[in-house]
């Protein structure tokens, strides 16, 4: 089993993520996670790292963009975003 800190890269702190986290009924938190992590691994990693109960996990896979600098071409790496919904009454204070 992978460490939760390998699966969870970092929390994404954006305006939308802050609004979702401040909801009273079902708080929702956004993380940048490992590309090869599935929903079950993400759920277990959040529960173990933050000691909370997770209701559901939704993921989005972003494809890296093509970039160029002069004549050289490159590509940004792919990354995955996870929306984690906690059970009623649960909250992450560490973020």
pLDDT in tens, 42-90: 999 999 999 999 999 999 999 999 999 999 999 999 999 999 999 988 8
Task: Count CA atoms closer than 13 A to 77's CA, side-chain side.
Answer: 7
pTM score over 0.75: yes
């Amino acid at each position: 089993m992978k460490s939760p800190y390998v699966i969870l890269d970092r929390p994404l702190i954006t305006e939308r993520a802050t609004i979702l986290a401040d909801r009273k009924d079902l708080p929702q938190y956004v993380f940048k996670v490992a590309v090869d992590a599935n929903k079950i691994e993400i759920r277990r990693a959040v529960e173990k790292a933050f000691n909370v109960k997770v209701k559901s996990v939704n993921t989005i896979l972003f494809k890296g963009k093509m970039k160029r600098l002069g004549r050289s071409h490159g590509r940004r790496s792919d990354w995955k975003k996870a929306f984690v919904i906690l059970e009623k009454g649960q909250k992450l204070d560490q973020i």
